[in-house]
Amino acid sequence: MTERIVSGMRSTGKLHLGHYLGVIQNWVKLQKEYESFFFVADWHALTTKYDNTANLKQDVKDVVIDWLACGIDPNISTIYVQSHVPEIAELNIYLSMITPQNWVERDPTLKDMAKILRTKEGANSQVSYGLLGYPVLMSSDIMMFNATAVPVGIDQVAHLEFTRDVARRFNNIYKTEFFKEAKPLLNECSLICGLDGNKMGKSFNNDIKISDTAEETAKKIMTAITDRSRLRKTDLGHPDQCEVAFKYWEIFGTPEQIQKVKTECEQGLRGCADCKRELAAVINEYFAPIREKRRYYEEHPEEVTEIINDGSAKARQEAQKVLKEVRKIVGMY
C-alpha cells in the first residue's frame, strides 16, 4: 500500500512565493508518490484571529485556488477544509485529555505567537486556551488520517516531534499500537527571503504573491535589496553580498544566466536596475502558466467549491474509520 501523507496551511489568504517554494512545490512532487491529504487549517487560523473573521471564507478559497494553480491535482490528492471534517475536533478532545499541560506550555512557537498577540489592542492580546492547544490540534490533523509522513517546512519540525510524543503516549496509555509515528518530509529547496532580506511574510509587507500580476511583480522586484556598497553601474559588484536580487537569480535563473549575471556584476558591466528588470522578466515567465491557471479558477469559483466539498467528503470518510477505532480503544460508550 502507498504511504499516506497529510499536510496543511493556515488560511492566511493569498499565498506568496515563500509558500510556493517552501511547501507547495514539494507537495506537487509528493502527490505522485503518496496518498495525499492537503487541507486548509481554518481552525488554526482562528487561534489568533477569532475576532476578525470577515475574510475567513474568502481566505480559505484563495488558498485552495493558489494550490490548484500551482499544480495540486484534485484527481489524485484529497483537498479539504479542516472545519469540514468535525471528526478532527472529536479526536482533538481525546488527545487533549492525555497531553500533559507542560508539553503545550513549552511549545517554542507559542512564545512567538504570544509576542505577536501582545502587539494587538483589546481582548485578543493574550494567549487563549485554544492557542495553547495549537500543537494538540495539529496532532489531531495528522493522527486523524494515521499518516506516516508530513511534508512541512523546517519551522514545523518541533510540532511534528510533539505529534509523535502524543501518538506514543496514546499507544502507551491504551496499550495499543494503533497510531503510527509521523516523520517530517523536509523540502530540500532553498528558502526564499523577502524583498527586504528578512523572512518573506504577508505581515512584513515584503512578499511577492503567486497572484500578483507581472506588472506588480516587476514593481516589487525593483525594490529588492542589492549589493549595498554599489552606487554606480561601473562599481565592481559582489553578488555574494547582493542580499536579495542575486539570491532570487540563484533560485529562478538557469546556471548559464546565473554565471552571466555574476561575471557582469563583478566586472561592473551590469547595472542593478537593469539586472532587476531582467530578473523580474525571468520570474514572470516562470509564473505565467501558474497565473493563467489561477485566473481560470478565479473565474470558475463553483469548480473550486465543488473540489473543496468533494475532498472534504472523502476526507470525512477516512476520518470516520479512524475515529471509530479510536473511540473503541479509548473505551467510549
- 160 vs 245, which CB is nearer to ligand SF4? 245
Picked from ligand TRP, ligand SF4, none, the partner binding residue 141 (CB below 5 to 8 A depending on kind) is ligand TRP
CA–CA dist 7, 82 (Å, integer): 11
Q: In Å, what is the CA distance from 110 to each residue of 95, 98, 211?
A: 18, 20, 30
CB of 24 vs ligand TRP, minimal distance in Å: 12
Considering only 22, 184, 239, 253, the residue that binds ligand SF4 (CB under 6 A) is 239
**What number of residues does the chain have?**
333
Percentages of the chain per state (helix, strand, coil), in multiples of 5:
60, 10, 30
Min dist. Cβ of residue 199 to ligand SF4 (A): 20
Please select the residue that binds ligand SF4; options are 23, 64, 152, 261, rule is CB under 6 A.
261
Phi-psi region of 307 (alpha: psi -120 to 50; beta: other; left: phi over 0): alpha
Report, in Å, the least distance between residue 306 CB and ligand TRP. 24
* CA distance to 8, 117, 159, per residue, from 168 (Å): 22, 32, 14
Looking at 69, 79, 142, 272, which residue binds ligand SF4 (CB under 6 A)?
272
| Closer residue to ligand SF4, CB minimum distance, 233 or 316 | 233
Of the candidate residues 47, 226, 284, 312, the single one contacting ligand SF4 (CB under 6 A): 226
Residue 245: contacted member of ligand SF4, ligand TRP, none (CB under 5 to 8 Å, by partner type): ligand SF4
DSSP for 115-179? HHHHTS-SSTTS--HHHHTHHHHHHHHHHTTT-SEEEE-GGGHHHHHHHHHHHHHHHHHTT---S
Distance CA(37)–CA(27), nearest Å, equals 10
> Is residue 252 a contact residue for ligand SF4 (CB under 6 A)?
no
Binding site for ligand TRP (CB under 6 A): 6-10, 41, 44, 138, 141-142, 150, 152, 156
List CB contacts of 295: < 8 A, sequence separation 6 or more: none
**Cα 197 to Cα 116: distance, rounded to the nearest angstrom:** 20
The interface partner of residue 318, options being ligand TRP, ligand SF4, none and the CB cut-off 5 to 8 Å by kind, is none
195 is a contact residue toward ligand SF4 (CB under 6 A): no
User: Min. distance of Cβ 140 from ligand TRP in angstroms?
Assistant: 8
Contacts made by residues 100-106, CB under 8 angstroms, sequence distance 24+: 103/135, 103/162, 103/165, 103/166, 104/132, 104/133, 104/134, 104/135, 104/136, 105/132
Among 44, 61, 220, 276, interactor with ligand SF4 by CB under 6 A: 276
Q: Name the minimum Å distance from CB 219 to ligand SF4.
A: 16
Nearest distance in Å: CB 29, ligand TRP: 16
CB of 150 to ligand TRP, least distance (A): 5
Residue choice 30, 63, 193, 242 for contact with ligand SF4 (CB under 6 A): 242
Residue 230 touching ligand SF4 (CB under 6 A)? yes
The span from the CA of 17 to the CA of 24, in Å, is: 10
Positions that interact with ligand SF4 (CB under 6 A): 226-227, 230, 237, 239, 242, 245-246, 261, 265, 270, 272, 275-276
